[in-house]
Amino acid sequence: MFELVLVAPEALVESVSEALMNELEALSVSVEDADADTDEERAIFGEPGLPAPRAGWQRSVLTALFEHEDTATEAATLLLAQEWAHDVHVQALREVQPQDWVRLTQSQFSPVEITSEFWIVPSWHEPPAQARRVIRLDPGLAFGTGTHPTTRMCLRWIARHASPQGWSRVLDYGCGSGILAIGAALHGGQCVDAVDIDPAAVEATRANAQANAVAVQAGLPELASGRYELVLANILATPLKLLAPLLAAHVAPGGHLVLAGILERQAQELQSAYAPWCALEVSEREEGWVLMTARFGEPT
Protein backbone atom coordinates (compact mmCIF):
# COMPACT_ATOMS: atom_id res chain seq x y z
CA MET A 1 0.00 0.00 0.00
CA PHE A 2 1.10 3.58 -0.71
CA GLU A 3 -0.23 6.88 0.54
CA LEU A 4 -0.24 10.18 -1.28
CA VAL A 5 -0.23 13.15 1.10
CA LEU A 6 -1.48 16.49 -0.25
CA VAL A 7 -2.02 19.95 1.22
CA ALA A 8 -5.01 21.91 -0.07
CA PRO A 9 -6.85 25.12 0.88
CA GLU A 10 -10.35 24.92 2.33
CA ALA A 11 -12.08 25.75 -0.97
CA LEU A 12 -10.49 22.80 -2.79
CA VAL A 13 -10.78 20.01 -0.21
CA GLU A 14 -14.09 18.67 -1.47
CA SER A 15 -13.05 18.79 -5.15
CA VAL A 16 -9.71 17.09 -4.47
CA SER A 17 -11.37 14.38 -2.35
CA GLU A 18 -13.97 13.64 -5.02
CA ALA A 19 -11.34 13.51 -7.77
CA LEU A 20 -9.16 11.11 -5.77
CA MET A 21 -12.03 8.76 -4.93
CA ASN A 22 -14.14 8.92 -8.07
CA GLU A 23 -11.57 9.31 -10.84
CA LEU A 24 -8.07 8.48 -9.57
CA GLU A 25 -8.66 5.07 -7.90
CA ALA A 26 -7.89 6.01 -4.31
CA LEU A 27 -9.02 3.37 -1.84
CA SER A 28 -9.70 5.97 0.85
CA VAL A 29 -9.15 9.64 1.62
CA SER A 30 -8.77 11.16 5.07
CA VAL A 31 -8.73 14.89 5.86
CA GLU A 32 -6.94 16.54 8.80
CA ASP A 33 -6.12 20.07 9.88
CA ALA A 34 -2.79 21.09 8.33
CA ASP A 35 -2.32 23.56 11.20
CA ALA A 36 -3.07 21.15 14.04
CA ASP A 37 -0.98 21.70 17.18
CA THR A 38 0.12 25.15 16.00
CA ASP A 39 -1.00 28.69 16.83
CA GLU A 40 -3.06 28.63 13.62
CA GLU A 41 -5.21 25.67 14.68
CA ARG A 42 -8.94 26.46 14.61
CA ALA A 43 -11.81 24.29 15.84
CA ILE A 44 -14.59 23.58 13.35
CA PHE A 45 -16.84 21.35 15.46
CA GLY A 46 -19.22 22.52 18.17
CA GLU A 47 -22.18 21.31 20.15
CA PRO A 48 -25.38 20.34 18.35
CA GLY A 49 -27.54 23.40 17.73
CA LEU A 50 -24.60 25.81 17.77
CA PRO A 51 -22.94 27.15 14.61
CA ALA A 52 -19.47 25.83 13.82
CA PRO A 53 -16.75 28.47 13.60
CA ARG A 54 -15.92 27.44 10.00
CA ALA A 55 -17.13 25.02 7.36
CA GLY A 56 -13.62 23.56 7.13
CA TRP A 57 -10.01 24.12 8.07
CA GLN A 58 -8.11 26.92 6.36
CA ARG A 59 -5.56 24.37 5.13
CA SER A 60 -6.07 20.62 5.13
CA VAL A 61 -3.86 17.58 4.75
CA LEU A 62 -5.48 14.94 2.55
CA THR A 63 -4.06 11.42 2.77
CA ALA A 64 -5.11 9.13 -0.08
CA LEU A 65 -4.40 5.40 0.07
CA PHE A 66 -3.51 3.48 -3.11
CA GLU A 67 -2.79 -0.18 -3.73
CA HIS A 68 0.22 0.45 -6.01
CA GLU A 69 2.93 3.13 -6.17
CA ASP A 70 2.46 3.78 -9.89
CA THR A 71 -1.26 4.39 -9.34
CA ALA A 72 -0.48 6.93 -6.62
CA THR A 73 2.15 8.63 -8.81
CA GLU A 74 -0.24 8.85 -11.75
CA ALA A 75 -2.97 10.26 -9.50
CA ALA A 76 -0.66 13.01 -8.27
CA THR A 77 0.45 13.85 -11.82
CA LEU A 78 -3.10 14.00 -13.21
CA LEU A 79 -4.41 15.98 -10.25
CA LEU A 80 -1.71 18.64 -10.31
CA ALA A 81 -2.16 19.04 -14.08
CA GLN A 82 -5.66 20.40 -13.52
CA GLU A 83 -5.89 24.18 -13.78
CA TRP A 84 -8.21 24.41 -10.78
CA ALA A 85 -5.69 22.52 -8.57
CA HIS A 86 -2.89 25.09 -8.75
CA ASP A 87 -3.00 25.60 -4.95
CA VAL A 88 -2.72 21.86 -4.20
CA HIS A 89 0.75 20.64 -3.22
CA VAL A 90 2.25 17.17 -2.75
CA GLN A 91 3.67 16.69 0.74
CA ALA A 92 4.71 13.05 0.46
CA LEU A 93 4.35 9.80 -1.46
CA ARG A 94 5.38 6.87 0.70
CA GLU A 95 4.87 3.21 1.32
CA VAL A 96 2.57 2.23 4.18
CA GLN A 97 4.26 -0.37 6.35
CA PRO A 98 2.15 -3.45 7.13
CA GLN A 99 0.45 -3.26 10.53
CA ASP A 100 -1.48 -5.64 12.68
CA TRP A 101 -4.36 -3.16 12.97
CA VAL A 102 -6.40 -5.38 15.28
CA ARG A 103 -3.55 -5.69 17.77
CA LEU A 104 -2.73 -1.99 17.47
CA THR A 105 -6.33 -1.02 18.21
CA GLN A 106 -6.53 -3.42 21.13
CA SER A 107 -3.33 -2.07 22.64
CA GLN A 108 -4.97 1.35 22.94
CA PHE A 109 -7.81 0.11 25.16
CA SER A 110 -7.00 -1.29 28.59
CA PRO A 111 -9.31 -2.06 31.52
CA VAL A 112 -10.87 1.09 32.98
CA GLU A 113 -11.34 1.39 36.74
CA ILE A 114 -14.66 2.91 37.83
CA THR A 115 -14.31 1.96 41.48
CA SER A 116 -11.91 -0.52 43.06
CA GLU A 117 -14.47 -3.29 42.49
CA PHE A 118 -16.18 -2.09 39.28
CA TRP A 119 -14.29 -2.17 35.96
CA ILE A 120 -14.85 -1.89 32.21
CA VAL A 121 -12.81 -4.61 30.53
CA PRO A 122 -12.35 -5.15 26.76
CA SER A 123 -12.96 -8.73 25.63
CA TRP A 124 -9.27 -9.33 24.96
CA HIS A 125 -8.26 -8.55 28.58
CA GLU A 126 -8.67 -10.58 31.75
CA PRO A 127 -10.54 -8.73 34.52
CA PRO A 128 -8.38 -7.45 37.40
CA ALA A 129 -8.35 -9.72 40.44
CA GLN A 130 -10.17 -7.16 42.60
CA ALA A 131 -13.05 -6.69 40.13
CA ARG A 132 -16.43 -7.79 41.50
CA ARG A 133 -18.55 -6.27 38.73
CA VAL A 134 -17.31 -6.08 35.15
CA ILE A 135 -18.71 -4.55 31.96
CA ARG A 136 -17.31 -6.27 28.89
CA LEU A 137 -17.22 -3.58 26.22
CA ASP A 138 -15.17 -3.27 23.04
CA PRO A 139 -14.70 -0.02 21.10
CA GLY A 140 -17.42 0.38 18.49
CA LEU A 141 -19.39 2.88 16.45
CA ALA A 142 -21.44 4.25 19.34
CA PHE A 143 -20.17 6.65 21.99
CA GLY A 144 -19.32 5.22 25.38
CA THR A 145 -16.29 3.02 26.06
CA GLY A 146 -15.71 4.24 29.60
CA THR A 147 -12.59 6.22 28.73
CA HIS A 148 -14.34 9.62 28.83
CA PRO A 149 -14.72 11.43 32.18
CA THR A 150 -18.48 11.89 31.71
CA THR A 151 -19.03 8.15 31.36
CA ARG A 152 -16.80 7.32 34.31
CA MET A 153 -18.59 9.83 36.56
CA CYS A 154 -22.02 8.42 35.67
CA LEU A 155 -20.88 4.86 36.34
CA ARG A 156 -19.29 5.85 39.64
CA TRP A 157 -22.56 7.46 40.70
CA ILE A 158 -24.42 4.24 39.83
CA ALA A 159 -21.94 2.10 41.79
CA ARG A 160 -21.98 4.38 44.85
CA HIS A 161 -25.76 4.77 45.02
CA ALA A 162 -26.79 1.19 44.33
CA SER A 163 -28.80 -0.46 47.08
CA PRO A 164 -29.68 -4.11 47.77
CA GLN A 165 -33.19 -3.60 46.42
CA GLY A 166 -31.92 -1.86 43.28
CA TRP A 167 -34.03 0.42 41.07
CA SER A 168 -37.38 -0.86 39.83
CA ARG A 169 -37.15 1.16 36.56
CA VAL A 170 -34.14 2.84 34.91
CA LEU A 171 -34.00 5.02 31.79
CA ASP A 172 -30.75 5.65 29.88
CA TYR A 173 -31.60 8.52 27.51
CA GLY A 174 -29.10 8.86 24.65
CA CYS A 175 -27.63 5.43 25.38
CA GLY A 176 -24.83 5.29 22.79
CA SER A 177 -23.10 1.96 23.47
CA GLY A 178 -25.52 1.19 26.30
CA ILE A 179 -22.77 1.33 28.90
CA LEU A 180 -24.83 3.23 31.51
CA ALA A 181 -27.84 0.97 31.05
CA ILE A 182 -25.62 -2.09 31.47
CA GLY A 183 -23.98 -0.56 34.54
CA ALA A 184 -27.39 0.10 36.08
CA ALA A 185 -28.53 -3.45 35.32
CA LEU A 186 -25.41 -4.89 36.96
CA HIS A 187 -26.16 -2.81 40.07
CA GLY A 188 -29.74 -3.95 40.57
CA GLY A 189 -31.74 -2.17 37.88
CA GLN A 190 -34.75 -4.44 37.35
CA CYS A 191 -36.43 -2.92 34.27
CA VAL A 192 -33.89 -0.95 32.24
CA ASP A 193 -34.85 1.01 29.11
CA ALA A 194 -32.15 2.49 26.85
CA VAL A 195 -33.08 4.89 24.03
CA ASP A 196 -31.21 6.78 21.34
CA ILE A 197 -32.08 8.64 18.14
CA ASP A 198 -29.35 6.69 16.30
CA PRO A 199 -30.39 3.17 15.18
CA ALA A 200 -26.70 2.12 15.24
CA ALA A 201 -26.56 3.01 18.93
CA VAL A 202 -29.69 0.96 19.59
CA GLU A 203 -28.12 -2.07 17.89
CA ALA A 204 -24.84 -1.55 19.75
CA THR A 205 -26.70 -1.40 23.06
CA ARG A 206 -28.58 -4.61 22.33
CA ALA A 207 -25.37 -6.43 21.38
CA ASN A 208 -23.46 -5.13 24.40
CA ALA A 209 -26.28 -5.99 26.79
CA GLN A 210 -26.37 -9.54 25.41
CA ALA A 211 -22.58 -9.83 25.73
CA ASN A 212 -22.89 -8.83 29.39
CA ALA A 213 -25.83 -11.16 30.07
CA VAL A 214 -28.11 -8.37 31.32
CA ALA A 215 -31.68 -7.52 30.38
CA VAL A 216 -31.92 -4.12 28.67
CA GLN A 217 -34.72 -2.95 26.41
CA ALA A 218 -33.21 -0.75 23.70
CA GLY A 219 -35.05 1.33 21.12
CA LEU A 220 -35.76 4.76 19.70
CA PRO A 221 -36.90 7.53 22.11
CA GLU A 222 -40.57 6.57 21.91
CA LEU A 223 -39.70 3.42 23.87
CA ALA A 224 -39.40 5.54 27.02
CA SER A 225 -42.72 5.67 28.84
CA GLY A 226 -43.97 6.52 32.28
CA ARG A 227 -41.76 7.30 35.25
CA TYR A 228 -38.46 5.84 36.38
CA GLU A 229 -36.66 5.71 39.71
CA LEU A 230 -33.42 6.56 37.91
CA VAL A 231 -33.04 8.65 34.73
CA LEU A 232 -29.55 8.91 33.19
CA ALA A 233 -28.55 11.18 30.31
CA ASN A 234 -24.94 11.58 29.21
CA ILE A 235 -25.17 13.76 26.11
CA LEU A 236 -24.26 17.47 25.82
CA ALA A 237 -25.40 20.66 27.54
CA THR A 238 -27.46 22.08 24.66
CA PRO A 239 -29.67 18.99 24.12
CA LEU A 240 -29.90 18.49 27.88
CA LYS A 241 -31.39 21.98 28.23
CA LEU A 242 -33.85 21.35 25.41
CA LEU A 243 -34.83 18.00 26.92
CA ALA A 244 -35.41 19.36 30.42
CA PRO A 245 -39.24 19.08 30.37
CA LEU A 246 -39.14 15.59 28.89
CA LEU A 247 -36.46 14.17 31.17
CA ALA A 248 -37.99 15.72 34.28
CA ALA A 249 -41.37 14.24 33.38
CA HIS A 250 -39.82 10.77 33.33
CA VAL A 251 -38.45 10.95 36.91
CA ALA A 252 -40.68 9.30 39.49
CA PRO A 253 -41.38 10.97 42.84
CA GLY A 254 -38.40 10.19 45.02
CA GLY A 255 -36.34 9.30 41.97
CA HIS A 256 -32.94 10.48 40.80
CA LEU A 257 -31.91 12.46 37.73
CA VAL A 258 -28.25 12.08 36.65
CA LEU A 259 -26.92 14.32 33.87
CA ALA A 260 -23.49 14.45 32.21
CA GLY A 261 -21.79 15.83 29.14
CA ILE A 262 -21.65 19.24 30.85
CA LEU A 263 -18.63 21.51 31.05
CA GLU A 264 -17.99 23.25 34.38
CA ARG A 265 -18.82 26.65 32.89
CA GLN A 266 -22.23 25.33 31.75
CA ALA A 267 -23.42 24.15 35.18
CA GLN A 268 -25.39 27.29 36.01
CA GLU A 269 -27.19 27.17 32.64
CA LEU A 270 -28.33 23.64 33.41
CA GLN A 271 -29.47 24.58 36.90
CA SER A 272 -31.61 27.36 35.44
CA ALA A 273 -33.06 25.11 32.75
CA TYR A 274 -34.15 22.46 35.28
CA ALA A 275 -35.17 24.85 38.08
CA PRO A 276 -38.94 24.49 37.40
CA TRP A 277 -38.71 20.78 38.24
CA CYS A 278 -35.72 20.17 40.51
CA ALA A 279 -32.59 21.62 42.10
CA LEU A 280 -29.61 20.29 40.15
CA GLU A 281 -26.31 20.10 42.01
CA VAL A 282 -22.77 19.38 40.88
CA SER A 283 -21.95 15.97 42.34
CA GLU A 284 -18.49 15.44 40.84
CA ARG A 285 -15.89 17.15 38.68
CA GLU A 286 -13.29 15.60 36.39
CA GLU A 287 -11.05 17.14 33.72
CA GLY A 288 -13.27 20.18 33.24
CA TRP A 289 -16.53 18.18 33.10
CA VAL A 290 -19.20 17.97 35.80
CA LEU A 291 -21.79 15.44 36.87
CA MET A 292 -25.10 17.04 37.87
CA THR A 293 -27.75 15.25 39.88
CA ALA A 294 -31.09 15.89 41.54
CA ARG A 295 -33.42 14.01 43.85
CA PHE A 296 -37.07 14.64 43.08
CA GLY A 297 -39.63 15.13 45.82
CA GLU A 298 -40.53 12.09 47.86
CA PRO A 299 -43.85 10.42 46.98
CA THR A 300 -46.71 11.54 49.17
| Vertex 202: Cα angle to 256 and 122 (nearest 5) | 85
Secondary structure class of 261 (helix, strand, coil): strand
Lateral strand order in the sheet of 118-121: 112-115, 118-121, 133-136
* Residue 294 exposed, middle or buried by CB count within 10 Å (0-12, 13-18, 19+): buried
Residue 46 annotated as binding site: no
Give the DSSP letter of residue 148. Answer: S
- The set of residues, in sequence order, having a beta carbon less than 8 Å from that of 253 and lying 6+ positions away, is 227, 296, 297, 298, 299, 300
Q: How many CA atoms lie within 13 A of 277 on its CB side?
A: 23
Instruction: Give CA separation, 8 vs 52, 90, 268, in Å.
Output: 20, 9, 42
Residue 39 annotated as binding site: no
CA distance 266 to 284: 14
Residue 22 annotated as binding site: no
CA distance 280 to 194: 22
> Do 233 and 246 meet the contact criterion of CB atoms below 8 Å apart?
no
List binding-site positions.
Answer: 151, 174, 196, 234
List binding-site positions for S-adenosyl-L-methionine.
Answer: 151, 174, 196, 234
